């Protein structure tokens, strides 16, 4: 197969869309091109000033971005392909990437520009279906954790809190203390399959988006391919066109219309129940139980933290893990986990983290013969994105963060009670 070359386009053909911790996304806006039109370019990032010099050998063959193989070989065995975006390899060019930085770096948030940058030494990137630029509006929801942990692996100090308040709500309380914007959104409402609770979750997401000026990342709107903000009149008018009968941009009316339009669609979609099931069955021990099991099997190295000195799984190991997950994993006694299964449990937790951190892109379904919307949208297409592989070296950081969050929440005022309607009795 002839490789797709990024140099077949110009850097000015690409527009900045958004970014996360590991990658940055640009949407193609150039002349019609069978390979690039209706696609986005996902590029890996590195910490500013710390480019990996081991990648400078221009004669060395670099592997494809692992995201592609991970989705093709692992994620697609757990999530139906129709719910995923297509991913293909594109060959990069350092001079081209540096020109892209010169053109588009100013479009990035200031905080991001200060901490990281495009890895110009990468030779391969990812072309993905453009779920944002190819439609008048698109909605991104990052649901986060959709379950409460089982109590059998929790300590006496944490069990009451962790089985009453979800991780997201505790983390929100912790982050507000650090100066972040507050939100009343609870993922368990969104995952509940109850239309009234889903409406509440959507209303809370909207309120957080609106009141924060669009800075919270659990809900984002994209209008004509660009991220929308509540103070952008043009964007609000187009959102009103898709969600309201009278196209009123009154904030309260638009919030109610948005929640009404999306609630039933999300209740009917298989995506949220699937994500919740994957999250809770893969994170079956909680980070506390995982740490206990790790300690039991590492008695000769008591000072090493969770996941330390543990190699990341190969793609072959991930493939074997998925086979085990579909067969023996659900038959294991997870209340008394076997030390012999430690690596499987570590991998399961990493995979759960992928599903906790993914996003859903929701787009109004237009009439097949029309590019405009007549009246409020009532049907939608949904796709899951951002299925990055997590690394073993993050487990220790997650364990420490978990302790910090719970310790803070113990002394916080106004503790919440979150209801996990899918939790087994």
Domain coordinates of the chain in residue numbers? Answer: 6-130, 137-425
Confidence of residue 346 (pLDDT cuts 50, 70, 90): very high
| Mean pLDDT of the region 339-354 | 96
Q: What angle separates helix 395-410 from helix 342-357, to the nearest 10 degrees? A: 70
| pLDDT for position 297 | 84
pTM: 0.87
| Residues in CB range of 252: below 8 A, 6 or more apart | none
| Mean pLDDT of the region 386-411 | 93
Angle at CA of residue 295, ends 293 and 300, nearest 5°: 135
Q: Which of 146, 96, 121, 190 is nearest to 283 (CA)?
A: 146
Helix, strand or coil, per DSSP, at residue 363: strand
The answer on pLDDT for 370 being more than 80 is no
The answer on pLDDT for 301 being more than 70 is no
The answer on pLDDT for 101 being more than 90 is yes
Confidence of residue 247 (pLDDT cuts 50, 70, 90): confident
Confidence of residue 377 (pLDDT cuts 50, 70, 90): low
DSSP secondary structure, 289-319, as one string? HHHHHHHHT-TT-TTSPTTTT-PPPPHHHHH
| pLDDT for position 425 | 47
Question: Measured between alpha carbons, how far is 418 from 415 in angstroms, rounded to an integer?
Answer: 10
| Residues in CB range of 324: below 8 A, 6 or more apart | 344
| pLDDT for position 424 | 60
Cα dist from 8 to 12, 36, 298, whole Å: 12, 9, 52
Query: pLDDT for 275-292, tens place per residue?
Result: 999 999 999 999 999 999
Q: Phi/psi of residue 376, each to 5°?
A: -60, 145
The answer on pLDDT for 243 being more than 90 is no
Mean pLDDT, the chain, integer: 89
Q: Are 34 and 242 in contact (CB under 8 A)?
A: no
* Domain 6-130, CATH class in plain words: alpha beta
Q: Which residue has the higher pLDDT, 260 or 282?
A: 282
Confidence of residue 56 (pLDDT cuts 50, 70, 90): very low
Q: Phi/psi of residue 282, each to 5°?
A: -80, -35
Q: Are 43 and 97 in contact (CB under 8 A)?
A: yes
The answer on pLDDT for 134 being more than 80 is no
Query: pLDDT for 154-209, tens place per residue?
Result: 999 999 999 999 999 999 999 998 888 899 999 999 999 999 999 999 999 999 99
The answer on pLDDT for 341 being more than 90 is yes
Helix runs in 248-371, H state only: 251-268, 271-282, 286-296, 315-326, 342-357
């Amino acid at each position: 197969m002839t490789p797709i070359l990024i140099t077949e386009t110009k850097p000015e053909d690409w527009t900045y869309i958004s970014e996360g911790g590991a990658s940055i996304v640009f949407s193609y806006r150039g002349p019609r091109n069978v390979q690039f039109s209706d696609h986005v370019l996902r590029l890996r990032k590195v910490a500013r000033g710390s480019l990996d010099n081991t990648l400078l050998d221009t004669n060395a063959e670099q592997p494809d971005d692992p995201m592609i193989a991970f989705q093709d070989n692992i994620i697609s065995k757990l999530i139906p392909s129709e719910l995923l975006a297509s991913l293909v390899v594109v060959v990069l060019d350092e001079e081209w990437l540096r020109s892209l930085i010169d053109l588009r770096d100013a479009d990035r948030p200031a905080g991001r520009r200060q901490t990281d940058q495009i890895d110009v030494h990468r030779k391969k990137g990812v072309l993905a279906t453009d779920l944002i630029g190819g439609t008048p509006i698109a909605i991104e929801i990052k649901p986060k954790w959709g379950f409460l942990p089982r109590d059998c692996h929790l300590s006496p100090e944490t069990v009451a809190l962790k089985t009453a308040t979800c991780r997201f709500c505790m983390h929100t309380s912790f982050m507000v203390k650090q100066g972040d914007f507050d939100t009343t959104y609870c993922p368990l409402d969104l995952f509940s399959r109850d239309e009234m609770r889903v409406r509440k979750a959507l209303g809370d997401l909207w309120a957080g988006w609106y009141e924060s000026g669009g800075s919270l990342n659990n809900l984002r709107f994209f209008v004509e391919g660009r991220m929308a903000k509540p103070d952008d009149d043009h964007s609000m008018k187009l959102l009103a066109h898709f969600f309201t009968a009278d196209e009123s941009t009154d904030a309260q009316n638009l919030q109610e219309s948005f929640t009404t339009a999306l609630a039933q669609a999300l209740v009917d979609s298989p995506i949220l129940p699937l994500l919740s099931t994957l999250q809770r069955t893969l994170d079956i021990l909680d980070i506390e139980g995982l740490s206990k099991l790790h300690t039991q099997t590492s008695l000769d190295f008591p000072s090493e933290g969770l996941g330390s000195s543990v190699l990341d799984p190969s793609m072959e190991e991930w493939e074997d893990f998925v086979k085990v997950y579909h067969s023996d994993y659900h038959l294991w006694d997870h209340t008394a986990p076997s030390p012999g299964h430690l690596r499987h449990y570590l991998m399961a937790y990493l995979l759960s983290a992928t599903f906790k951190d993914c996003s859903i892109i929701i787009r109004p379904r237009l009439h097949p013969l029309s590019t405009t919307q007549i009246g409020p949208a009532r049907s939608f297409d949904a796709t899951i994105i951002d299925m990055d592989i997590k690394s073993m070296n993050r487990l220790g950081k997650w364990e420490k963060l978990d302790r910090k969050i719970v310790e803070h929440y113990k002394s916080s005022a106004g503790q919440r009670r979150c209801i996990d309607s899918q939790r087994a009795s």
